[in-house]
Chain A
Amino acid sequence: MTALASWLLVPLGLLALAACDGAKASRSDARPAASSSASVERPTMPAPVADAASIEAGPAGPDAAVSREERERVVLALLAGGEPANRLPRAAVDPGHDFDPAQRDRVAPPWRPPVLKMIGTTVAGPLPTAVIDRIVRQSTRSRVDQAAFAS
């Protein structure tokens, strides 16, 4: 029985040592960011649990004594959605400005084609007035159209 127990204790002891090393590695990675590298094995992402207050407060300042894991946990909790993400301050306009529903018309005004009016045509020659009118109308419309788009 004693022999069996010692056989069981040996692997358990090895596991404990490995866990200890893992914890050290995790702690050594706790400080923010700066020197992280893609080649470094990272621990699996912690479950994204964070209270609403920590999300509403925003990310901790760069000098705050907050571990990288904790920062990631809070951001993940934010990205999990729902409240309080849906209540975050809205910033769709500059401070002191109101939202303008007609802003689109100001930055990209609707394009309205010019209106052409034919005012009396006098023809000296054999061609009928209607033919002259049609040719002038077609030619002018095409040129005005091009000019309007090019302007």
Chain B
Amino acid sequence: MSGPRRWALPVAAGIVASSFVFAVSAIAPRDVDACGGFFSRGSARKPSLSYEQALILYDPSRDEEHFIREIAFHGGAEPFGFVVPTPTQPAVAKVSKSPFEPLRAAFPFAVPKPAEPGTGFGNGHGRLGGRGEGVTVLSVSKVGSFTAFVLAADDEKGLARWLADNGLTSTPDADAWLAHYVRMKFYYVAMRYDPPQGADASVQRVASPERATPLKAETIRISFSTPVPYYPYFEPRRPPEPPSKSPPARLLELWIATPTRVTPISARTVHGRTEWVRPMLEGSTAGSIDPWVSRAALLGALGSELQPLVPAGPLRVQTFQDQKLSREGYGDVLFAPETKGTIDPARGDKMRPLLGILDPALVPSATR
């Protein structure tokens, strides 16, 4: 997701990313990426478009997920946007202090032994469209350098039209990506970067944005209701890289805090055949030993801004890494408990809208 890489309407990330996703995630232009990059005064690392960092705080007793993700972008004079899908109506907020460096210090990723090798489109600007055909603007808020539009859509073409009407151009691949979520009746967080006042766009166009503007990173939180922890992992198909250009390295680093340990599951479709895989490698964490200790460490790492979002009771904090260059063929990620549980019919009904994530045949083929 560096340079011209796209943020699957994650943070991605989803965010999103993610991506807040972390996740999500999906209108990503040439100069934004679902991948996060830690950047702040005093940070030990520069931001990177190839580095996606996300934190999921999930409270099963309230079916509530807080998806926290860093977004790396070139903060120039060119407006751009990206979209993060969520299964239910989200609330969006800026996180003023990135939690990832202290989180990494408290819960570092350690490769389990033996190490097991595994095997946004669009940019532009525009005015708020209000209600378009098949699209409802549920809220508009300022989130850091971005304006966040929370959208609901029941018409694929209507959503694409809304984005176009608001200057958010897209591609056929991105439209197909959006259509998938419209059929699943998801919501969208459309984030539009607002260049600072007085920024001279003509200067930015002379040189590449990578050279003209420094990379910035901001952290956002997207909170929504879901019966299963969810990571917006699915990305629009990207244009193929030129043969002479090798794709850049990429890294997703995820922390997830839940009362019980979980396993990430994604549906991967290759040559028409779909199988379930674990798309991330889990590191060994202190949280697997004493959930009360890990809860205290998590509270200490997150600081006062995010502490109120931490679920009550003992917590497991797991770290995951994903180093795939491409997510083509992969759907979004749902997390199942590591220990077998039971799903009563009422809970099954709540989960039904998400089941298409793991079985594409359950996703309606068209809305109209």
**Partner-B contacts on A (CB < 8 A):** 32-38, 42, 44-48, 55, 58-62, 64, 66, 68, 71-72, 74-76, 78-83, 85-86, 88-95, 97-101, 103-104, 106-111, 149-151
Contacts and interface: CB of A to CB of B under 8 A. Distances in A.
Nearest to A57: B275
Given A34-B365, A95-B119, A104-B253, A83 B340 contact: yes
A97 to B, nearest CB: 7
A35 B361 CA distance: 11
B116 interface: yes
Contacts of A62: 360-361
Contact of A90 (B119, B274, B342, B356): B119
Interface of A is mostly: loop
- Report, nearest first, the 6 A-B pairs whose CB atoms are least far apart: A82-B340, A45-B348, A81-B337, A92-B281, A58-B275, A90-B118
Interface residues of B, number: 76
B313 interface: no
B326 A72 contact: no
Nearest to B40: A149
Contact of B339 (A81, A91, A98, A100): A81
B281 A61 contact: no
Interface stretch (B47-55, B174-182, B301-309): B47-55
A44 B336 contact: no
Interface of B: 37-38, 41, 43-48, 50-51, 111, 115-119, 185, 214, 228, 248-251, 253, 262-263, 265-268, 272-281, 320-326, 330, 334, 336-343, 345-349, 351-352, 355-356, 358-366
Most chain A beta carbons < 10 A, residue from B37, B251, B320, B366: B251
Contact of A109 (B46, B277, B322, B330): B46
Contacts of A32: 361-362
Given A71-B361, A89-B118, 19 more contacts: A33-B362, A33-B363, A33-B364, A44-B346, A44-B348, A45-B349, A45-B352, A76-B351, A81-B337, A91-B324, A92-B322, A93-B119, A93-B281, A99-B116, A99-B118, A103-B321, A103-B323, A106-B249, A107-B250
A38 B349 CA distance: 13
Most buried by A among B266, B356, B362: B362
A48 B345 CA distance: 8
B361 A33 contact: yes
B111 A101 contact: yes
Given A81-B263, A82-B340, A111-B46, A75 B362 contact: yes
